Structure formats: structure tokens, C-alpha cells
């Protein structure tokens, strides 16, 4: 196992086998979770042990391939190269409540949503737990800004990589690591119903975000192929149960697409179907993706939609777009880079 994917108890065992006491494991764990780039930075560990560790447990921090900083709002977008040459994106957003990173969970995605740039090349592979952790660590190290919040809303479908995502959450939440509270973490899914049910049983304090984008099955089938496997009724049923089991209110994402899902009738149907389910709606004006004919809704349509929901008792906010000047939405930077370097 990669040493950075180990929990502290696992690392303690691994180091015991090298004849090391428990406190040493804790020192090393703390260093790794500060974002050192090599064992040589661990100044309170003997040279001998450092070279032994480098041999037995090598680790490979990601390299920054591109870094774009918004002149408008300070949003920073990173494109990282992983040890095997694949690239993923991370976005750092500076909100009043704290610095938030949006991380990727897979290289590419196999969910096929019609409006999303991340899925255009399909799924290459799932990320390892330490590759998710590294995005948080090295964004913090590079930017010099303390990270307090995480959203799993970058490239990939987190619930299609459940085991690694769960381990990542444990690592990033650990008291001897970054100690990021579960309440400061949001996990977004396109609606893998069995996995939502599995997640509910774990009773985590994180916020579950569900990418709904349409309340009507015909529309949702068209823009989100996952709906053919798990239609909206099953999905909303799973959401109701999720709330019952965890007591956590679900946050829904709704990308507003001109002429597709933004009519008054769409808003009314949505209200009807959300009845009795404590929810928060995040309305996101669609980010235009070059390869797609879909266009964002007009401002007026977004406001009308929001008002219908609010009047019906469902809190709805229009997501402020950050980093508009740096292609800061999902998958666009990786896509551009891959097209320029035709190899992946």
C-alpha cells in the first residue's frame, strides 16, 4: 500500500515492522500530511530511516502542469500531472467562510452527462486515496492559503470510486492530518442510487449534493444517461431515505440549460416532486462547453425559476460563478491540455 494512503494505525504497524516506535509513525504521518515532497524534509527523522523509507515506501507528489489565477476573484486552478502521466484538475475558491478546494476523484468519467467536459473522453482510471489527498495538500502548500473546506465536484463521479473516496475522507478528516471537519465537506453525485444508500448507512456528517438537473425523466434521460438506470423516482426515494437515516439535508444541483430544463412547468414539477423532502436547490447557469450545443439559460429564466421554487417553500440560490476568466469549470483545462498534447 502507498504510505500516504495509510491511516495512522496502519502506518504504526508498518513502521513497527521496521523496528520503529509508535511516536515515529506519528511524526512521519504528520510530515506527510503537511505536504512534504520527499522524506529528506523530515528533519526530526534519522537519515538512515529516511533512506530506508524512501526505498520501502516511495511516494510521488503531483507536479503542477498549469496554474491559472483569476484576476477578478483570486480563484486558482491547478492542472496536476500524476505519477503515471495522467492529469487532473483542482480549483481553489476563496469564499468568505473559508478557502475551499474542489477536487477530482477520477481521471475522466464514465457517466456521460451531455453538458459536462469531464466525461468527453470517458473514464481513464479512478484516483487513489492519496491522489485526492495530494490535491488538497499541494493546493494548500502552493497557494500558501489554509484550506478549510472541500467539495468533491471536480472531474469524476465520487460514488463510482467509493472505497477510495471513503479512505480519502478518513485521511483528510484525521486529527493528526489536515483535520478537516466532515461538516466542511460536500460530496456530489450524479445519482448512483445503490451507492447513495450505502453512503447513508455510514452516517457521515458531510453534505450530499445530488446533481438533479431535471425533475422529468424524459429530459433527464436525454442529458444524464445515469437516469436510465436510476430514474428520478428511485433517486428521490433514496434521497428521502438518506435524510431519514442521516438527518442531513440534501443539496441539489440544477444546471440551467436554455430551452431544456428551465421552463415554468419544469420548476413546478420540481416543486411537486421535492414535496416533503428538506432540500436546498443550487441553480447553476450552465457553463458553456465548446463541444456541446447546449446553452445557458437567460438571467430572466433563472430568476423566474428561482422565484417559483422559493414561493413554493424550497430555498434556492443561484450559484455565483467564480473564475470565469480562467476556464474554471469542470474538466475544461484537462481537456484543452490533452488536445494540445494529443497523447492522452
Binding track, positions 62-101, relative to ligand SAH; x by CB under 6 A: ----------------------------------------
**Which residue's CB is nearer to ligand SAH, number 173 or number 287?**
287
**Which residue's CB is nearer to ligand SAH, number 42 or number 255?**
255
Query: Which cell is 15 given?
Result: 513502521
By the rule CB under 6 A, 113 interacts with ligand SAH: yes
Active-site annotation holder among 87, 109, 190, 330? 330
**Which residue's CB is nearer to ligand SAH, number 188 or number 246?**
188
By the rule CB under 6 A, 262 interacts with ligand SAH: no
Instruction: Name the minimum Å distance from CB 168 to ligand SAH.
Output: 14
Pick the binder of ligand SAH from 157, 171, 184, 196 (CB under 6 A): 157
**Which residue's CB is nearer to ligand SAH, number 5 or number 286?**
286
**Which residue's CB is nearer to ligand SAH, number 63 or number 290?**
290
Q: Can you say how many angstroms the Cα of residue 303 is from the centroid of all Cα atoms in its chain?
A: 27
Pick the binder of ligand SAH from 199, 286, 308, 322 (CB under 6 A): 286
Stretch that binds ligand SAH, among 55-63, 83-91, 264-272, 286-294 (CB under 6 A): 286-294
How many positions of this chain bind ligand SAH (CB under 6 A)? Answer: 17
How far is it, in rounded angstroms, from Cα 77 to Cα 135?
11
CA dihedral for 117, 192, 169, 51, sign (positive or negative):
negative
By the rule CB under 6 A, 289 interacts with ligand SAH: yes
Q: At what angle do helices 129-143 and 162-173 cross, to 10 degrees?
A: 40
Strands 207-211 and 185-189 come out as parallel
317 Rama sector, left if φ>0, alpha if ψ -120 to 50, beta otherwise: beta
Stretch that binds ligand SAH, among 74-82, 175-183, 187-195, 239-247 (CB under 6 A): 187-195
Active-site annotation holder among 87, 89, 116, 190? 89
Q: Under a CB-based contact definition with an 8 Å cutoff, are residues 330 and 155 in contact? A: yes
**Which residue's CB is nearer to ligand SAH, number 53 or number 79?**
79
DSSP string covering 224-251, please? -THHHHS-HHHHHHHHHHHHHHH-PPEE
Query: Which cell is 67 given?
Result: 496554474
Q: At what angle do helices 193-202 and 162-173 cross, to 10 degrees?
A: 30
Residue 194, CA atoms < 13 Å, CB-side half-sphere: 4
The footprint of ligand SAH on residues 190-229 (CB under 6 A) is 190, 211
Stretch that binds ligand SAH, among 32-40, 74-82, 133-141, 284-292 (CB under 6 A): 284-292
Cα separations in angstroms, 208 against 163, 184, 186, 309: 16, 11, 6, 20
Q: Is 102 a catalytic residue?
A: no
How far is it, in rounded angstroms, from Cα 31 to Cα 10?
16
DSSP string covering 274-337, please? HTT--EEEEEEEPPP-TT----BPPHHHHHHHHHHHHHTT--EEEPPP--GGGT-STTHHHHHH
Q: Is 264 a catalytic residue?
A: no
- For residue 193, give the nearest of 231, 164, 152 by alpha carbon: 231
Pick the binder of ligand SAH from 139, 188, 207, 261 (CB under 6 A): 188
**Which residue's CB is nearer to ligand SAH, number 188 or number 219?**
188
The residue ranges that bind ligand SAH (CB under 6 A) are 113, 115-116, 153, 157, 188-190, 211, 253, 255, 284, 286-287, 289, 329-330
Give me the active site residues, please: 89, 330
Amino acid at each position: 500500500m502507498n504510505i500516504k494512503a495509510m491511516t495512522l494505525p496502519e502506518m504504526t504497524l508498518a513502521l513497527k515492522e521496521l523496528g520503529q516506535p509508535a511516536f515515529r509513525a506519528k511524526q512521519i504521518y504528520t510530515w506527510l500530511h503537511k505536504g512534504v515532497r520527499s522524506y529528506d524534509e523530515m528533519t526530526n527523522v534519522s537519515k538512515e530511516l529516511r533512506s530506508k523509507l524512501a526505498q520501502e515506501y516511495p511516494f510521488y507528489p503531483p507536479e503542477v502542469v498549469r496554474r491559472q489565477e483569476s484576476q477578478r476573484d483570486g480563484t486558482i486552478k491547478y492542472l496536476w500531472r500524476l505519477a503515471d502521466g495522467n492529469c487532473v484538475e483542482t480549483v481553489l475558491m476563496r469564499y468568505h467562510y473559508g478557502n475551499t478546494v474542489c477536487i477530482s476523484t477520477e481521471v475522466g468519467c464514465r457517466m456521460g452527462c451531455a453538458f459536462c467536459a469531464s466525461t468527453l473522453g470517458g473514464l481513464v482510471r479512478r484516483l487513489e486515496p492519496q491522489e485526492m489527498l495530494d490535491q488538497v495538500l499541494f493546493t494548500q502548500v502552493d497557494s500558501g492559503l489554509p484550506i478549510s473546506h472541500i467539495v468533491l465536484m471536480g472531474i469524476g463521479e465520487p460514488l463510482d470510486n467509493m472505497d477510495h473516496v471513503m479512505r480519502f475522507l478518513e485521511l483528510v478528516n484525521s486529527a493528526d492530518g489536515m483535520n478537516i471537519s466532515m461538516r466542511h465537506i460536500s460530496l456530489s453525485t450524479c445519482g448512483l442510487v445503490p451507492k447513495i444508500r450505502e453512503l447513508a448507512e455510514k452516517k457521515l456528517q458531510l453534505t450530499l449534493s445530488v446533481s438533479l438537473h431535471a425533475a422529468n425523466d424524459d429530459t433527464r434521460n436525454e442529458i444524464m444517461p445515469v437516469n436510465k438506470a436510476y430514474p428520478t423516482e428511485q433517486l428521490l426515494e433514496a434521497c428521502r431515505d438518506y435524510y431519514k437515516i442521516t438527518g442531513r439535508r440534501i443539496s441539489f444541483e440544477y444546471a440551467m440549460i436554455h430551452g431544456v430544463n428551465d421552463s415554468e412547468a419544469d420548476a413546478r414539477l420540481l416543486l411537486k416532486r421535492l414535496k416533503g423532502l428538506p432540500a436546498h436547490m443550487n441553480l447553476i447557469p450552465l457553463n458553456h462547453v465548446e463541444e456541446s450545443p447546449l446553452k445557458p439559460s437567460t438571467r430572466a429564466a433563472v430568476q423566474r425559476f428561482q422565484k417559483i421554487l422559493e414561493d413554493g417553500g424550497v430555498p434556492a440560490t443561484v450559484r455565483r460563478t467564480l473564475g470565469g476568466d480562467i476556464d474554471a469549470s469542470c474538466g475544461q483545462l484537462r481537456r484543452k491540455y490533452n488536445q494540445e498534447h494529443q497523447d492522452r
